[in-house]
Each structure stands twice: as structure tokens, then as C-alpha cells.
Structure 1
């Protein structure tokens, strides 16, 4: 489940669908990236800093709520409606429902007003009982990870049972952050290729969000530009937790094949477990896409799987304009052996993203590009 992102103007529609080098950097390692402005946009929270110190080893983008069945909640003698009505509070006292702004595979999307927070939110109302059951695990994940600046905010699940308030739609209500901005996929579409400083900034924000998920023992499973949201202020947030799993290990094959790590796709033929570093591989693929696009993404499904599981790791073109630090970052993210791939915690000290000079200026430039790109 992501959020609803209102386009800045009338503009974009979101579209559908190396070399090995063992990571040696310590958490204290820093790097620089030259620019005109100085400053740091994303400061690690005190909790993050504590973990880094203690652990050694170094548009409206509409809310997309996964329709895959996850963990079915307990029911009262098979009656899911009664169960959810008992489990979740009545939404009418918390929200004022606005107009319909779209549809989702699971239900209808509305904007709404959070009465106590006094802010606009996105609300997906799910009437289908099977879909209501299928989304329970995603709701649990959002409850665990919400509240971090690089994660889409979640404002709770509610259940309205007619005819308590006949004017309100019956069903499961999911309230999330309503973002004015675009997806990373949209941003790429405005320029075809992003500059290196922009890529560095965006990768740092995503990695910070992944570090938060790592601490919560959550594996996202679907990191890709379509699921990365950028606000009108240039803030970067991870959304869409429909494939996310609990625990340090997973054997799930869910996700988007183009961005899936070799160890994930290997599970189609030989079941085994892997960890959160699968999300780091996905970040590396997204970084290449920001820089040069993905020429291999249109391969037939089976050939794509074979290329990822058996072929060499993708790299930036050797004749490109990219710095050694960026190439090193890509090679680290795309280590084929997960044990040699850095964790999100380790990656935060990488020279490419560890300490970006002019970070506030980069954020401002991205926000300005969104405003320009969304206008016709």
C-alpha cells in the first residue's frame, strides 16, 4: 500500500508494470560530492545513530494497495465482516470523507480530512471481503514502519458497517499520507536520465528508509522507481508494502522480476531463504535506471530470469560520464553473492551517498523539476 500523490499540476500518469568488490567501509567512513550548496537534508534519527554506533562491522500517484493475499486474520465463525468491524474502529469519528479521486485494484480511492490531525489524507475503501482479508498483513507492516521520514505515513485501518451511517461507504478504510508530488518513475520520465548528484541524493534517501526497514526486520521485496514517491518538497519516501514480509529471512518470490535479486529468482527452482540484502540489489538496479535506463527490462520473462540468475551483474556503460564512486556504489549493490553485498546500514557510509555536499540544493532542484515536469 502506498499513498495518494496528487500531481503538482495536471500532468503525468504513472506507468504500469560490475564488477564484484567486497564492501570494506566502516560506519565512520564518509565521502563528499561537490556542489555549490552545503547542508544535509536527511539527518539520521537518534535511534538510527544509536544503531550505527552500536552495530560493528563497519501526481496523484494513487494509493496502490496490494491485492495479493497475505495473512488471513482471525474471524468469528467465518464471518469476516463481523471480525473486521470488531477489530477496527468506526471511521466516521476520525475522518471527513471527501470526493472520489480514483480506483485501485482493491477498492475506491477518496481524499479525506483527518479531524484530529487537521490534515488531508488518502483513503482507500475496500468492500470485497476476500480483498479485505488479503490486505491484513500489509496493514500490520505499515503499522510497524510508519513514522519514518522516508516511509509513507499510515494513519490506520478502520471499518464502517452500514447502516450505522448510511451516507458513508461500507467496508475497510485504509488511511495513508496524501502526497503532492510524483513517483521516481515520473521524475525519470521528465528527463530520461538523472544527473549523478540527484541519483546520489535519491539513493541516500531510499537507503535510509531501507535501514529503518532492516531494523524492523521487514523485507520490502519490490523496491523500484514506481514505488518510490517524491513530494513537492523533494522528499523521498518508500511506498507499496504489498509484498513485504516479516522476519530476518524470506523465501518469497514476490516482486518485479526486473528488479529482483538473483537469490530471490533462484527460489523458482530451488527453495531457500535470503535476507534484506535482496532490497539492496533492487536499489542498485533502480540506480542504473536513473542513470541510463534498463535495456534488458524488455526481455521475455524466462530470458530475463536467466540473465539475472546466471549472467554477470548489470553495470553502467564503461564510456559513460559517471564517477568512480558511483560505479563502485553500483558494483557493491549488485554483488551476486549476498554475503558480499552491503547491508543498508553499511551502505549509508559509502562514499557515493555517505556525505553529500549541497544536499539541500539538490532537493530544491528536484522539487523545481517536479513543478516544471508536471505542467503542460
Structure 2
């Protein structure tokens, strides 16, 4: 007989702190069952775990007793009591918790809301989750499972709270724990967890929760999650500053590389202070260095120059790398989004590694240089379709593949100079010829290829394309470039006109 039916038939639950009256089931997952009960006029949520598997039982105990050792907080779900009960022939451990009216998952995304309401609601959610995480991290707890299902709404305080510490990491230095995580245990959810939680068994850090915070906010605002390079725009040039700031925070939270994210909630707070404090940047030294690398690589350039000459292309990339700092540049793709540029490396023939992950088949390098205004300079990588990855199985044999004609991207993992199916590394380990290897970023590298014509534009920070919240002018420009296979005069004029008024204040004063 199911636990729900047993409770439904029994109607009451006797515990060490009194009798509770069954109301209804709230959900289940991973051998955990949660039900709504009443005691007098108060509602409670009670979580049940059958006393069967020792590792899960120990983690269940830690969820309550470790959390009980830290002060309560308005943005962290409250648990009141731990107990053992017998129902029929089965023994259960239970945690009696505060009942919350619903989850963020049941509330759903606000993608279709008016921008003013969207800004207000997203900002409120951000503050609540950030405050809750700050409290947990300060008390040496990493949640590891921040997702919409684990964010509840407290109708009493009108605030969101973080719940379910079922797979949280409690510091060994701070807490005496019952459970010890085994190497093979997955402590992550696919949709909202940081890449390193899924693809490796590295040390647990606050930056994992920071990534999940960004993913939850992105989902709340757009209805989607993101995994990869490009992020759809959340705001535009006319949006409230709060929404623009939130977009910048989300973008940094969602960096694939942990070191490039915020390392703590305090860092987010400091970043916000910087965003709200008017600052002046010296973009001009970067602009002049970029202009110099163009002239030194292409002495004959007059305005626009396109080339397929490998010698000129590699000379430009080498001079650019020598003269400029990649951190001072942004790139944008045909799907929009603006992303930190990390560089271009030569692979072979016309193949290059773009920003550490995407293998591109370079058809042409398109460079624009304005003689009078160096902030208008940019370059575009015009790509021919790459061939799909040739994958090898766990015995070293080539894998036969059928790629759909509608497929635009191909994915693989580069390991030991061969490409393998990325799905083979999802569990954090990879088996090759009977040997099990731990997946790490040094040896297993994610790779992407475009198997259609495509383009990327690279621009200095502070210039219009890097500053504009509305990406559509640049998207349209890149689409026209790909279609024509070149930068046409009319396309360039339209692009310049549409971006003219969006340079940073430090640059616009000379525009």
C-alpha cells in the first residue's frame, strides 16, 4: 500500500510533539515524500523517509540536525522537529517543517509580463535568494540544489525562501555529520547546476550556488535555462537600470568557468555598488592599440578589407594577441548575446579555436577600420560550415553518425586527441577500454562546431555593439554579412546608423 493511501486512511499522525491531521500529498522524489498536515489552526509540511538505505537516512538526519545548528533566517525554510514514526509495518524518519503556499516552479516564469512588473518581481526574487544564500554560505553550508522547485513563497513575510537541504554540503570543520559523500554519488540537478557539478567531482564551492542563482533568475525572466556560450537578451537600451544591472549579474553568475563567476554573494553586492556608482573608463588606450594591430597587420587597409589569405589572417591574430588584451573586447553572434572575448587560437589549415570552445572553419576575415574614429573599428569571422565531429567509442573505434539536415551545431568532448560523445562524460567519469577515468577540465574539453554558415563580430568594450542592450541591429548586420559573404556598403551604413548613439559616455562625447 502506498504511503499516501496509508496516511489518507489513517487521517492522523502521532508524533512526540502531538497529533497532526493529514490534508494532502505535496510531492515526492528520491524516496522522499512530503505531505501537508494540520495541527490546530496551523498548517505544516512533513517530509517522510523510509528507514531503509543508510546513506540516505544519514543525509536526511544531516538535513535537519546540521541546519538546526545555525540561526534561523527569513529566506531559508524553517524546520521545527525531527522524529521517528511507524506506519503499518514500516518505520519512517520525518522532518516537520513550516508549510509554504507554493514553489517558484508552480508560480512559473514571468517572461510575458510587462517590463516594469518583470523588473520588480525579478529583483525581489534575486534579493531573497541572494540573502538566503549569504546566510547559508556564511554558516558553511553549500546548498548544491538551487532550482525553482526548491524556492518557496512565504505568504506571511511576502518573501521567497530557499528550501530542501537534502544534498547540501555541510562543512566538516563546522558540523559533525552522519553522511559522507561517496565518489560515485551525483550531487546536482541537470537543469540548474553548475557544469562542474555534473562533469566532475571537484571541491564544493559557493560559486556552484552562484551559478544556480543566475540560472534560476534567467529561467524566471525568460522561461528557459542556458548551457553554452550565448545568452538571449533580458533588457534593452530603454529598460530600467535595475533590469540592466540584473542582466549583467546573471551573465557573470552563468560563466562556465568557476573562476570567472562571483565567488560569493558579497562580491555580487560589491559589483552592484560599482554598477550604481558612475565611473569613467579609459577606453582610448585600448582603441588605439586595436587600431595599431589592424594597421600593422594590413598596411593597405582603407576602410573595409576582407581576406582569405592565411598569412595575413594569422599575422593579424598574432599582432592582435601581442598588442591587445582579450579582456578588453566583447564578441556577439548571430543569435545575439554579448560575451567576454577570450581569444582565437590556430588549429590547422582554416580551422581556429574561438574563445576556448568553438572550433570554427574560417572562410574570411572581415576587418573595418575608420580613419577618424577608432571606436568604430571591428572585425568579423565569416565561417564556412564545419564537418561534424568524428567520434570514437570507449574502445577507440569510430562511431557511425547520422546528422540531421536541420542540425546547426555539433557537440563533442575532446580527450586524448580524439572526440568522444559528450553524454559519455555526464556522470563525471569516463570508461575507456575498461579503465575508469575522472572527468576534469584539463583533460576533457567541451567543443562546438557550426555546421552551417555563420559569423561572429569582435569589438572593443565601451563601443556601441558591446554596450547596447538591444542586440537586433548587430544580429541583422551579421545575417546580411553571411548572406552576402561580405560587408556591403548599404549594410555597413545601416549598422553604423543604428548603433551610432549607443557608445559609452566616455566615447560618445567625441562622437
TMscore range, shorter length: 0.5 to 0.7
1:171 paired residue among 68, 92, 97: 92
Matched, 1:111 2:37: yes
CA distance in 2, matches of 1:352, 1:99: 48
The Cα of 1:183 is off from its aligned counterpart by: 1.1
Aligned equivalent of 2:76: 151
Q: Please state whether the residue corresponding to 1:255 is helix, strand or coil.
A: coil
1:201 paired residue among 100, 114, 124: 124
Aligned equivalent of 1:341: 261
1:129 paired residue among 52, 62, 85: 52
Does the CA contact (< 8 Å) of 2:23 and 2:38 recur in 1?
A: no
Relative to the length of structure 2, the TM-score reads 0.41
Segment drifting more, 258-267 vs 184-193: 184-193
Does the CA contact (< 8 Å) of 1:221 and 1:278 recur in 2?
A: yes
Aligned equivalent of 1:96: 19
2:106 paired residue among 176, 179, 186: 186
The Cα of 1:335 is off from its aligned counterpart by: 2.9
Does the CA contact (< 8 Å) of 1:144 and 1:216 recur in 2?
A: no
Q: Residues 107, 248 of structure 1: CA spacing in aligned structure 2 closer, same or farther, 3 A cutoff?
A: closer
CA distance in 1, matches of 2:121, 2:258: 27
Q: Please state whether the residue corresponding to 1:312 is helix, strand or coil.
A: coil
The Cα of 1:265 is off from its aligned counterpart by: 2.6
The Cα of 1:150 is off from its aligned counterpart by: 0.4
User: Which whole-Å deviations, capped at 9, do the CAs of 1:183-205 have from their partners, x for residues lacking one?
Assistant: 11222257755601210111011
Does the CA contact (< 8 Å) of 2:236 and 2:244 recur in 1?
A: no
CA distance in 2, matches of 1:127, 1:246: 23
Aligned equivalent of 1:68: none
Which protein is bigger by CA-based radius of gyration?
2
Aligned equivalent of 1:260: 193
The Cα of 1:315 is off from its aligned counterpart by: 4.9
1:236 paired residue among 148, 152, 160: 160
Does the CA contact (< 8 Å) of 1:107 and 1:124 recur in 2?
A: yes
Q: Please state whether the residue corresponding to 2:152 is helix, strand or coil.
A: strand
Aligned equivalent of 1:328: 248
Q: Please state whether the residue corresponding to 1:332 is helix, strand or coil.
A: helix
Aligned equivalent of 1:120: 43
CA distance in 1, matches of 2:47, 2:244: 44
Q: Please state whether the residue corresponding to 2:15 is helix, strand or coil.
A: helix
CA distance in 1, matches of 2:225, 2:259: 27
Q: Please state whether the residue corresponding to 1:346 is helix, strand or coil.
A: helix
CA distance in 1, matches of 2:198, 2:50: 34
Relative to total residues, which structure has the larger strand share, 1 or 2? 2
Q: Residues 202, 220 of structure 1: CA spacing in aligned structure 2 closer, same or farther, 3 A cutoff?
A: same
The Cα of 1:231 is off from its aligned counterpart by: 2.1
Q: Residues 333, 230 of structure 1: CA spacing in aligned structure 2 closer, same or farther, 3 A cutoff?
A: same
Matched, 1:293 2:217: no
Q: Residues 171, 243 of structure 1: CA spacing in aligned structure 2 closer, same or farther, 3 A cutoff?
A: closer
Q: Please state whether the residue corresponding to 1:173 is helix, strand or coil.
A: strand
1:279 paired residue among 196, 205, 209: 209
Q: Please state whether the residue corresponding to 2:77 is helix, strand or coil.
A: coil
Structure with bigger RCO (C-alpha 8 Å, 6+ apart): 1
Query: Which ranges of structure 2 fall in alignment gaps of 5 or more residues?
Result: 1-12, 174-180, 277-511
